[in-house]
Amino acid sequence: MSIVKKVMWVLLLVVVAAVGSLYWLGTRDDASTGPAAAAADSATLVERGRYLALAGNCMACHTSRGGKALAGGTPIPTPFGTVYGPNITPDEQTGIGAWTADDFWQALHNGKSRDGTLLYPAFPYTEYTRVTRADSDALYAYLRSVAPVSQPNRPPELDFPYDQRALLAAWRALYFKPGVQEADAGQSVQWNRGRYLVEGLGHCAACHTPRNSLGALRSADALAGGVIPVLDWYAPPLTNDMETGMGRWSAEDIAALLKTGIAKHSSASGPMAEVVLGSTQHLTDADALAIGVYLKSLPATPASTERTRAAVAPAAMELGGKIYKQQCVQCHQAAGEGSGTAWPALAGNPTVTAPSPVNAIRMVLDGGYAPATAANPRPHGMPPFGQLLNDNDIAMLVSYIRNSWGNEAGGVTALEVKRARAASTLN
């Protein structure tokens, strides 16, 4: 055999070994799954599961607009195409009626369907793997208690090669390692509970951590904020940077936003308003505060962004200030201090000072309301100005509020407003 052929055979064996290793790493299960949870009173278990389903916001992805509860069909847009939330009612044919508690645990913990099919990470098993077996069993008991709905699952509509499910093995080998979250003995019970909710069931990183080109979370920038792909909303940093993160907030402020949708520094809008409406308002006071305590322990890491802070011309600030006095000062006040929780402050507001101006632009364009929660059933709203102000006007206005009263967030261009207007129309 010639040297060239020997080299080719060696290279072939290396490639086969590498592919085999990636496949094994990407399809392996966590061996420490543990036994099923001890039996409990069924009503208690179901109620516990109902609470966990709210905390995990299961309805958001598994209930389509106008559809039956948890019957699936919700489109979940990604940069690679659209996947659809599956039916998780106990229907035997189209839902999870034939699943066992072990099957359900495998989906949450190992990211695999009942038959071993690898699940797309639009289902956040990368975070749900931290959920305990006891909580998995409670969720399963609750889902078994809801009304079964016969509704076939809609297959994903993904671009090539992302529609090749076998390639998930390589993705998982690179970016996923199953494992329940262990408590940190050096921290309080409250802190550990907050971390469990943030990093596990609440899957906060799914929006608040930037992603790489393959859709995996950039672990080095955990909870450092980023634009939510396709939706074009910015999820702000949950770290404690004073300018762009939660540095000015207390744990109680964070809990208030989660429970009511409003706080003295800001109010929930866009996708976060939907999270508060469908999920976090239902948290117990203790769980909401635990999340606040955990988030306040995070370092003062600056926001993750590739956007350069643009200077604002004095003329633009002057014109933006005039528009502010004409349209905004009555509610948000001359110094941007707002009016209690009815109209949030703009000074130090992370929506305003975020590296990306897209949220502030979209609020000016479309207006909006904080979510109508049990604690705040009739929130004050902001009228839309998209029809009244042109792109240049909005750019100057948003530049003004981002650079007044101690805010130093940089300028906004008319092109950015135009793009946000287009995204707003599409969404």
Tokens 């009626």 locate to: 97
Q: What's the half-sphere exposure (Cβ side, CA atoms, 13 Å) at 111? A: 29
109 is in an annotated binding site: no
* 3-class secondary structure, 261: coil
Q: What does the alpha-carbon distance between residue 33 and residue 105 come to, in Å, rounded to a whole number? A: 8
> H or E stretch including 227?
strand 226-228
Do residues 248 and 348 touch, judged by C-beta distance below 8 A? yes
> Cβ distance 344 to 338 under 8 Å?
yes
Strands 81-84, 75-78: pairing kind: antiparallel
Nearest to 269 by CA among 362, 375, 398, 386: 362
Query: Under CATH, to which class is 315-425 assigned?
Result: mainly alpha
Burial of 376: CB neighbours in 10 Å, binned 0-12, 13-18, 19+: buried
Q: Is 208 annotated as a binding residue?
A: yes
Parse the chain into domains and list their residue ranges. Answer: 11-175, 189-296, 315-425
**Domain 189-296 matches domain 315-425 at the CATH topology level:** yes
Question: Does 380 count as an annotated binding residue?
Answer: no
Contact predicate 81/162, CB 8 Å: yes
Phi/psi at 375 (nearest 5 deg)?
-85, -15
328 a known binding residue?
yes
| Per-residue buried b or exposed e for 327-338, using 16+ beta carbons within 10 Å of the residue's own CB | bbeeebbeebbb
Predicted TM-score (pTM) of the model is 0.87
Residues 215, 230: Cα–Cα separation, whole Å: 12
State the average pLDDT for the chain.
89
Point out which residues pair with 84 in neighbouring strands.
Answer: 75
Q: Are 236 and 354 in contact (CB under 8 A)?
A: yes
What pLDDT is stored for residue 333 in this prediction? 94
Average pLDDT over residues 415-426: 85
326-381 confidence digits (pLDDT tens) = 999 999 999 999 887 778 889 989 889 998 999 999 999 999 888 999 998 988 88
Q: Give the model's pLDDT for residue 321.
A: 96
Reading the block at residue 83, the tokens are 């996947």
User: Is the confidence at residue 33, as pLDDT, over 70?
Assistant: no
Percentage of the chain exceeding pLDDT 90: 73
For residue 159, list its beta bridge partners.
none
Q: What are phi and psi of 89, to 5 degrees?
A: -80, 165
Residue among 230, 106, 82 nearest 163 (CA): 82
Supply the angle between the helices 414-426 and 358-366 in degrees, to the nearest 10: 60
Q: Is 265 annotated as a binding residue?
A: no
pLDDT, tens digit, for every residue of 119-176?
A: 999 999 999 999 999 999 999 999 999 999 999 999 999 999 999 999 999 999 999 9
Q: Do 368 and 300 contact (CB within 8 A), yes or no?
A: no
Interatomic CA distance for residues 261 and 257, integer angstroms: 5
CATH code assigned to 189-296: 1.10.760
Residue 426 token pair: 């599409």
Using alpha carbons only, how large is the chain's radius of gyration in Å? 24
